Structure 1
Amino acid sequence: MTPPATPARRRFLISALSACVTAGITAPLVACATSTFPFIPDHYTFSQKQVQEAVQRKFPYQRTVSQVFDVALANPVVGLLPDTNRVSVRLDARLASPFLQQPVNGVFTLSSQLEYDAPSRSVVLRAPNVDNVSVDGNAQAYTQQINAAAAVLATQLLTNYPVYTFKPEQLQFAGVNYEPGTITVLTNGIRVQIVEK
């Protein structure tokens, strides 16, 4: 005769079986009642397109920097930089200033690392850098000041900006809490490791 299951084990098995039914999994229930759950992913991968859509919501953006430059930013294009494990954002810029005879166009290219922010359950941009600033015409004489303005904007715009937010159910199963671990930038997306909390 099989000894009766302890109350704790019985609750665990009921939770596991309920989760199987809720998830609509058609595998035999015996497979669901094991101590490891093969259908819990060990990672999530979200696409460059998802990051693009998240960043796109921030633009167009306009700001006066140091009371000298009026800067308008638009048309962000997100790139993935697997070699440095960073994300890039290329922006069209339009600058106006009393120092310039007329507004000029340019391009700012920024890059940022990614980190997980637990309170918001989001993968966010951290420590953005200005990688390149290119401006037209006579604005080149003010490249140093424009670079400084771009650095201020990068910090204001992108620091802690969420590019992907996990739903609560993505980080919990059968009463066990999970959390993102290592974040890896790939050529076609961003892979986030999922580990038990």
Structure 2
Amino acid sequence: MIRRAPRAFSPSRNPGKPRATRRAFVLSACAAACAAMSLGACASGIFPFIPDHYTFSRQQVQDAVQRKFPYHRSVQQLFDVTLTNPVVTLLPDRNRVAVRVDAHLESPLMQEPVSGAFTLSSELAYDAPSRSVILKSPTVDSVDMAGSAAVYAQQVNAVAAMAATQLLANYPIYTFKPDQLQFAGVNYEPGTITILTNGIRVQIVEK
């Protein structure tokens, strides 16, 4: 009988370890390349752990603003104003966020309390110390009050302006977690903020 010599060990015939080694090498190479590339390139490549943008919804903004209400304040001992039921609307054509609130005013100057609505709007900005997207420089878009409030339009508008400043100015509507802005020792930060019809898109760029 002729005995065949045993075949020499061939690494290619061990399907487990070499594949795992190759996979680990690919991931390591991708990680190194991604750390060196710009954020946008990482997001569009095969190692998409840091996106080139984040998008949060109108409902998330609504939930954040809702926490400020109801709001009650006495103004110059002449008006007691109560604001409730905020409704957030996105205005992509103006790149602003609008907030409509129900307003109820009482005053010894008026024969009876009056009700109506204020519509406020604001641009957005990024506040680095708090890592938050905030409402910036809010303004009064419209005041719609019924009854005898029309006689006191100047005072009512002042109340609306005060509400815009005290309620919304620099108010955070989204706060980033630290790990959303850091990867592989590289720091990132929000860039351009764009308001869409269905959400708010925040560009992420290398710091």
State the TM-score, normalizing by the size of structure 2. 0.80
Q: Deviations over 1:142-186 (max 9, x none)?
A: 112100111012101110000000000000000100000111111
Of 38, 55, 59, 1:45 maps to 55
Q: Match of 1:106, SS?
A: strand
The amino acid of 1:32's aligned partner reads A
Aligned residue pair count: 172
Give the corresponding residue for 2:109: 99
Separation (CA, whole Å) in 2 of partners of 1:33 and 1:138: 69
Give the corresponding residue for 2:30: 31
Structural mapping, 1:53-132, within 5 Å: 53-132=63-142
CA RMSD of aligned residues (A): 1.5
**Alpha-carbon shift at residue 31 of structure 1 (Å):** 3.2
Does 2:192 match 1:193? no
Listed as ranges, the gaps of 5+ residues in structure 2 are 1-23
Separation (CA, whole Å) in 2 of partners of 1:67 and 1:120: 35
Q: Match of 1:147, SS?
A: helix
Moved more, 34-43 or 73-82: 34-43
Separation (CA, whole Å) in 2 of partners of 1:148 and 1:33: 57
CA distance change for structure 1 residues 27 and 120 in 2, over 3 Å: closer, same or farther? farther
Separation (CA, whole Å) in 2 of partners of 1:159 and 1:108: 16
Q: Match of 2:93, SS?
A: coil
Give the corresponding residue for 2:18: none
Larger Rg: 1 or 2?
A: 2
CA distance change for structure 1 residues 138 and 113 in 2, over 3 Å: closer, same or farther? same
Q: Deviations over 1:36-76 (max 9, x none)?
A: 33312111010000000000000001001222111000000
| Contact 1:123/1:162 (<8 A) preserved | yes
Of 163, 176, 182, 1:166 maps to 176
**Alpha-carbon shift at residue 27 of structure 1 (Å):** 11
The amino acid of 1:54's aligned partner reads A
Give the corresponding residue for 1:6: none
**Alpha-carbon shift at residue 28 of structure 1 (Å):** 4.6
| Contact 1:66/1:149 (<8 A) preserved | no
State the TM-score, normalizing by the size of structure 1. 0.84
The amino acid of 1:176's aligned partner reads V
Separation (CA, whole Å) in 1 of partners of 2:111 and 2:26: 74
Q: Match of 2:112, SS?
A: coil
Separation (CA, whole Å) in 2 of partners of 1:191 and 1:27: 34
The amino acid of 1:169's aligned partner reads D
Q: Percent identity?
A: 69
Structural mapping, 1:142-157, within 5 Å: 142-157=152-167
Q: Match of 1:55, SS?
A: helix
